[in-house]
Structure 1
């Protein structure tokens, strides 16, 4: 059934939003003076870091129309020093799509969903709590972010079959992992790098971050479960209700969308395929957290798993290739969005305004009281996070500059690290410059403005919690 489109203003697509931001940032390179910090190599961080107090004007390099047009292309392969090339992430997404396409072609996912819904009948809400706990654990320990893109195509059909909606599934993954990153305890890509750059141990401030994580996780889970229960009781309450029929047709087959009797076929082959399916994700998590894997290794894992599953299921060469290509094609739009989002950072760095913005932040906190200082630092990191969605990148960029300023304000440097981690975590739940946000929404077919409408009350509550925690910490033990 086609959805009825309301006349009048229609919110632009993610592609339009991101390209408009590229144009805006390019325009800013004509207005904001160019500048640059001196940088020195850091053995601990394995990259160059800016030197506090070394900012100096630089020759301007305003970005023109040609640069704007090339930005999405450069966004795929331009080697930013603090994060993986977007082409690596995009290829990972395409291979994930191919892997899911092959598994779907075996019929195991449909049969598994139908059996799971029978077993979970009346207890579906436990899925939300358990999954958000697991994603938060990944977020707080190793900064689970791009890896979550692999889980959307797995979880969305399950949530829809459980009579929730695609937005619920997106929220479970994006908010689950995101709140873990917000409360980064031992996250090597956030607090560990930031602490090293700030000159303190990552164990400093750990109890505060644990408290923030616990409170924010409880609030976030309650928020998602409340929305999910409301949608299940009345599907018209869904923020994507107009897409219900289209989403069911896209994510579910006719058999998976129906309640099947106990005797419905769930063969031994289906069980073997699903075991291999789950094992693949388990190996991915092990590889990232312990084995030092990144995009290339994860992509190779899913490619190999797709071939093995296709052979075991006896799909045949033709059907295996067709299923893989069709699955990759379903996620092509997501892969393009990732490069487009990266283009914003490329333009800002090429226009030499990134350090200028950071210098303005450095000078804006001079002479403030301790409480005002830490709260202003938090909001500075919020602003910087919009342009630099990479937590490790923002840590390397901002901590060597802002952490030493804390000494003059009489504030412990670990509080600056915590302000950075929480600010980056909150912004990366919504920023359109994040490939993780825009990619997840694209996979879930959730329009960006619907996500904002859904999540803004939660962002408000989380912001109040974090600011209160920082203010209390700086007044009760926050002085060096």
Structure 2
């Protein structure tokens, strides 16, 4: 469903039409972060190596007096530095954009989706959305967050096949992946690291996280079907779309070879992720190799592959630059040395709070901290050595504190501008940051209420 008409003269302007451009919005956050450096003093925790990891020493926080103040010009210097720091995210967006541009030109993916949806039936749209949401949720659980970047355009094509906007496909993919990652019972980056610090068996207490995961994915499916499908949305001219009626789609031998190469490439990528420790750079390299193989299978010359890659990359340039601009926020925070000060102040808010309320407050605090430390494992290493003793003091179980951390860290990845993975995925979905916020924020309120109810249940049953 699109909204390409302009607002009638004299009619009240809808709030989302006055939201600043994503780059303007993130630059405003960057300036606000700079102003915080004059209010929040610099400080740091002592850190020690433990079992091959660097962890924080609880109670070791000290203020620093030798940090040079950041001058206004540093705001602008932080932007190219942020682009450099976020280079791996920028390049995977460019390369994935090129890969899917080639796939789109071959017609293989579109034909496969057209044939599949035609067989299931467009009238079963809600079923397709629900199954798609759970499949993407499974990928978030089993594969991770950023590792699924390349799968977003597939959801957009599926949404187009059932007569929905790119926003529906992007919400199905990014929302499903985000919820799956956030509430995964087997997340090695958050649960695994945090339970190691808390001296708990790895992935213990999975039943509550599994229950929350299934409920949250069900909630997301209903939310997409009931709200996102009906939302007005201005489509990008570069959005993935079905080009003809479903009844006209069929698969050729070359299409099948192309799909085998694509799925095989994804399989090799997952093998590398799970057995060789592959991450963004290796995944981007695999996407590049897949683009070359698929291009060659479809008769493209070397020059033709290069041309298609450049065209695909150019269509996602705006989204990629937003990622780099958002990374400059972290540059300012690091230069001012105020991240540890913020963590120390927030963790102190839990002192003397009843356990049930502490669990909810901890999830909120972890969400705030995630804006400044947008790494699940990094956040666990910084906050868990502090908050695990706090949990012991207030009478909260360590398992419940870890689940609070997981909820706060994971769910906010869907909205914070410092989440490079989220920005990369919505860029590939051709959805702008303000469009994404408009779609996902009401769901965030609902899923937080659901998660808090789960934390209360966990406390009541002695989780």
Alpha carbons 1:125, 1:225 under 8 Å: kept: yes
Structure 2: distance between partners of 1:419 and 1:149:
26
Structure 2: distance between partners of 1:455 and 1:93:
21
Report what 1:127 is aligned to: 128
Report what 1:391 is aligned to: 376
Pick closer, same or farther for the CA change 1:33–1:47 going to 2, 3 Å. Answer: same
Alpha carbons 1:310, 1:320 under 8 Å: kept: yes
After TM superposition, give the deviation of residue 418 of structure 1 in Å. Answer: 0.4
Which residue, 20, 27, 34 being the options, matches 1:12?
20
Report what 1:87 is aligned to: 87
Report what 2:354 is aligned to: 369
Report what 1:443 is aligned to: 428
Q: Which moved more, 1:2-11 or 1:122-131?
A: 2-11
Structure 1: distance between partners of 2:138 and 2:45:
36
After TM superposition, give the deviation of residue 340 of structure 1 in Å. Answer: 1.6
Residues 38-57 of structure 1 correspond to what in structure 2 (within 5 A)?
38-43=46-51, 46-57=52-63
After TM superposition, give the deviation of residue 101 of structure 1 in Å. Answer: 2.2
Structure 1: distance between partners of 2:448 and 2:344:
25
Instruction: Give the TM-score taking structure 1 as reference length.
Output: 0.88
Alpha carbons 1:106, 1:315 under 8 Å: kept: no
Pick closer, same or farther for the CA change 1:250–1:212 going to 2, 3 Å. Answer: closer
Alpha carbons 1:139, 1:187 under 8 Å: kept: no
Report what 1:251 is aligned to: 240
Pick closer, same or farther for the CA change 1:175–1:112 going to 2, 3 Å. Answer: same
Report what 1:152 is aligned to: 152
Q: CA offsets, 1:148-168, max 9 Å, x none?
A: 321222321231132011111
Pick closer, same or farther for the CA change 1:110–1:466 going to 2, 3 Å. Answer: closer
Structure 2: distance between partners of 1:368 and 1:52:
19
After TM superposition, give the deviation of residue 351 of structure 1 in Å. Answer: 0.7
Which residue, 64, 67, 74 being the options, matches 1:58?
64
Structure 1: distance between partners of 2:364 and 2:110:
46
Stretches (4+) displaced over 6 A: none
Report what 2:286 is aligned to: 301
Q: CA offsets, 1:355-402, max 9 Å, x none?
A: 111111232211222223222222211211222222112111111111
Residues 153-302 of structure 1 correspond to what in structure 2 (within 5 A)?
153-227=153-227, 231=229, 237-240=230-233, 243-244=234-235, 246-247=236-237, 250-252=239-241, 256-259=242-245, 261-262=247-248, 266-302=251-287
After TM superposition, give the deviation of residue 265 of structure 1 in Å. Answer: 6.0
Alpha carbons 1:152, 1:170 under 8 Å: kept: yes
Aligned to 1:373, the other structure's residue is in SS state helix
After TM superposition, give the deviation of residue 51 of structure 1 in Å. Answer: 0.8
Structure 1: distance between partners of 2:462 and 2:128:
39
Report what 1:314 is aligned to: 299
Instruction: Give the TM-score taking structure 2 as reference length.
Output: 0.91
Report what 1:81 is aligned to: none
Q: Which runs of 5+ in 2 are unaligned?
A: none
Structure 1: distance between partners of 2:251 and 2:162:
18
Aligned to 1:49, the other structure's residue is in SS state strand
Pick closer, same or farther for the CA change 1:238–1:58 going to 2, 3 Å. Answer: same
Aligned to 2:49, the other structure's residue is in SS state strand
Pick closer, same or farther for the CA change 1:292–1:21 going to 2, 3 Å. Answer: same
Alpha carbons 2:239, 2:429 under 8 Å: kept: no
